[in-house]
Amino acid sequence: MTGIIYHDDFLNHHTGFGHPEQPERVSEIIKELKKADFSEKLVWDEPRLATIDEIS
């Protein structure tokens, strides 16, 4: 199993013209992962805020 942390809000991250990390690229990667032969081995979860204990 492989965990993937993802939320559509990630598509609002703009790195500027010419940078390879573009919302369209991320969107296509997610789409392909969801239909891949190994997709049943992926565990999808949404991000959450860290607790004080986790960051201290």
pLDDT tens per residue across span 6-28: 999 999 999 988 899 999 999 99
Please compute the mean of the pLDDT values over residues 31-37 and round it to a whole number.
97
Q: How many residues does the chain have?
A: 56
- Could you give the percent of the chain with pLDDT greater than 70? 100
Distance CA(9)–CA(26), nearest Å, equals: 11
Q: Work out the widest C-alpha separation in the chain, in whole angstroms.
A: 40
Cα–Cα nearest to 39, from 27, 48, 31: 31
Amino acid code (one letter) for 22: Q
Phi, psi at residue 18, to the nearest 5°?
Answer: 90, -15
List strand residue ranges (DSSP E) for the chain, in order: 2-5, 42-45
